[in-house]
């Protein structure tokens, strides 16, 4: 198989001749330039080019290296780097740098300085002798109280202005490159650290290109990321995801970016899931990821119920929104993270009565219509009535008797993908408003009941 055939088959869930090799296909799924330099010698690649693409000093894997190690993917560009990787004009956007006893190429817009004591400076970060990474100088990132508030404000404004100008310049320069990358890519990958709304927007941005999408870095709790909302979103959208951290360890990704040295362990971890002994930091997250029907379950409102009424159930619409339905046909959308109601409940009413029934509300969808069932007493008989609508919030048509003596009911799909009530030998509840099984009249009563002689399917 060719690399393209192998990757396409892999993402389609089809058999492949071997596991795809994606080393170097992401800014952070690669090697430090010193390790990359040694890899090239092991592979027998003589190409002197050795370009830096990220602040972590990771290397850009060249085609010669990809070929030598039988790689299947190549990185076309990165928002972390202002210079283009490939193409006839790319060479003009790089400059030489000799550091760590190897010759590198760095983006021409990056500024480096070499001090007499052997320290290297990259902008405001320093790499001391014997180190291989650029880090903030000791004491930076922590307010020591050495400047007045006005002085801090001036410094912040100056730095913010520099960042904005640089960001604008990079975006303008990368727009054409970005479009070309998408055009040439078989798979679109991205990083995102943020909340549910941001993740949803980013997925929509990349799904529109009609290619497989993979989020190769995600989950920042302190920026709004949540397993119980983001993971279902990624699954529903068919987007693969890679959690950058897993076990608390050397990379210290339990801490948010910018945490100073000797910061105590935060109450909310930024990224990781497990402690070094394998125990979870948050057992509820692990329970959610496992997704076992037997639980454990988490009480989303320990201080009391969501409402003071009865007969609650959940309805999940085709767009993924979840609704809380209860009592006599009241409905309210759940928050995206399922931690409570997103608004006040609304009563769904049929066209011919004040309510479908007085209790036992249940909502389901079939044939692109919403069906609300409720229980109602008529002549001391406990029936199940139904009204339907094209929209979840209505308007709903006439209520009708759907399940004689059915009372408080629920409906589910059977093996043939058809809807059935939980009681046996009942009339089929789904019918249109022109041919209901039996219409109901009045706010509570049903007069002169005559059960139909045929079932309306």
For residue 357, the domain's CATH number is 2.115.10.20
State how far the alpha carbon of 439 is from the alpha carbons of 142, 350, 434, in Å. 72, 11, 10
Q: Is 221 part of a structural domain of the chain?
A: yes
58 and 5 assigned to the same domain = yes
Helix (H), strand (E) at residue 167: helix 149-184
Q: Is 43 part of a structural domain of the chain?
A: yes
The percent of residues in the chain predicted with pLDDT above 90, rounded, is: 30
Rounded CA separation 33/42 (Å): 14
96 and 119 assigned to the same domain = yes
Q: Is 321 part of a structural domain of the chain?
A: yes
Q: Is 164 part of a structural domain of the chain?
A: no
274 and 348 assigned to the same domain = no
Tokens of 301: 């409102």
Q: Is 157 part of a structural domain of the chain?
A: no
Rounded CA separation 64/157 (Å): 45
Residue spans of the chain under pLDDT 70: 28-29, 138-178, 180, 250, 295-296, 298, 415-457
Q: What residues contact 289, with CB distance under 8 A and at least 6 apart?
A: 227, 231
320 and 368 assigned to the same domain = yes
Tokens 């029936």, located at residue: 383
Tokens 């980013």, located at residue: 202
pTM, two decimals, is 0.41
318 and 367 assigned to the same domain = yes
128 and 191 assigned to the same domain = no
User: What is the torsional sign of CA 331, 333, 334, 335?
Assistant: negative
Q: Is 240 part of a structural domain of the chain?
A: yes
How many Cα neighbours within 13 Å face the side chain of 71?
20
119-164, pLDDT tens digit by residue? 999 988 889 898 888 887 764 443 322 333 333 333 333 333 333 3
11 and 52 assigned to the same domain = yes
Rounded CA separation 449/453 (Å): 12
Q: Which residues of 415-447 are buried (b: 16+ CB within 10 A; e: fewer)?
A: eeeebebeeeebbebbbebeebbbebeeeeebe
Q: Is 169 part of a structural domain of the chain?
A: no
User: How many separate domains does the chain show?
Assistant: 3
365 and 235 assigned to the same domain = no
Domain stops at, among 267, 298, 329: 298
Domain stops at, among 142, 177, 210: 142
294 and 205 assigned to the same domain = yes
Q: Is 156 part of a structural domain of the chain?
A: no
415 and 323 assigned to the same domain = yes
289 and 330 assigned to the same domain = no
Rounded CA separation 34/210 (Å): 37
150-209, pLDDT tens digit by residue? 333 333 333 333 333 333 333 444 566 667 677 777 888 888 999 999 999 999 988 988
104 and 195 assigned to the same domain = no
Residue 259 belongs to domain spanning = 187-298
What is the distance, to the nearest Å, from the Cα of residue 349 to the centroid of all Cα atoms in its chain?
A: 36
């Amino acid at each position: 198989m060719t690399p393209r055939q192998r990757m396409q088959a892999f993402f389609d869930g089809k058999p492949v001749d071997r596991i795809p090799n994606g080393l170097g296909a992401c800014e952070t799924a690669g090697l430090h330039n010193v390790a990359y330099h040694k890899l090239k010698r092991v592979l027998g690649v003589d190409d002197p080019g050795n370009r830096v693409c990220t602040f972590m000093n990771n290397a850009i894997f060249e085609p010669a290296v990809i070929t030598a190690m039988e790689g299947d993917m190549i990185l076309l560009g990165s928002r972390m780097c202002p210079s283009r990787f490939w193409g006839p004009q790319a060479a003009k956007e790089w400059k030489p740098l000799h550091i760590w006893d190897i010759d590198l190429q760095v983006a021409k817009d990056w500024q480096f300085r070499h001090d007499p004591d052997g320290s290297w400076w990259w902008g405001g970060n320093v790499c001391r002798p014997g180190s291989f990474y650029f880090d903030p100088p000791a004491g930076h990132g922590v307010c020591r109280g050495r400047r007045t508030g006005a002085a801090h404000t001036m410094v912040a404004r100056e730095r913010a202005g520099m960042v904005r100008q640089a960001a604008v310049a990079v975006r303008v320069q990368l727009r054409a490159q970005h479009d070309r990358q998408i055009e040439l890519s078989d798979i679109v990958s991205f990083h995102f650290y943020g909340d549910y709304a941001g993740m949803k927007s980013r997925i929509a941005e990349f799904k529109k290109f009609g290619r497989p999408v993979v989020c190769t870095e995600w989950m920042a709790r302190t920026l709004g990321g949540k397993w119980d909302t983001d993971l279902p979103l990624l699954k529903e959208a068919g987007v693969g995801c890679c959690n950058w951290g897993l076990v608390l360890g050397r990379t210290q990704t339990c801490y948010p970016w910018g945490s100073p040295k000797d910061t105590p362990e935060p109450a909310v971890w930024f990224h990781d899931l497990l402690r070094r002994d394998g125990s979870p930091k948050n057992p509820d997250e692990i329970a959610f990821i496992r997704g076992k029907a037997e639980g454990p379950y988490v009480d989303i409102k320990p201080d009391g119920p969501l409402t003071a009424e009865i007969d609650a159930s959940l309805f999940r619409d085709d767009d993924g929104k979840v609704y809380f339905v209860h009592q006599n046909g009241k409905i309210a959308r759940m928050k995206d993270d399922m931690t409570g109601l997103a608004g006040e409940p609304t009563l769904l009413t049929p066209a011919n009565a004040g309510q479908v029934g007085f209790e036992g509300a249940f909502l389901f969808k079939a044939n692109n219509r919403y069906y609300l069932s409720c229980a109602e007493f008529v002549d001391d008989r406990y029936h199940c009535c139904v009204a339907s609508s094209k929209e979840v919030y209505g308007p709903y048509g006439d209520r009708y008797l759907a399940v004689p003596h059915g009372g408080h009911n629920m409906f589910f799909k059977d093996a043939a993908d058809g809807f059935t009530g939980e009681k046996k030998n009942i009339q089929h509840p789904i019918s249109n408003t022109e041919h209901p099984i039996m219409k109901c009249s009045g706010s509570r009563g049903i007069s002169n009941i005559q059960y139909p002689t045929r079932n309306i399917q």
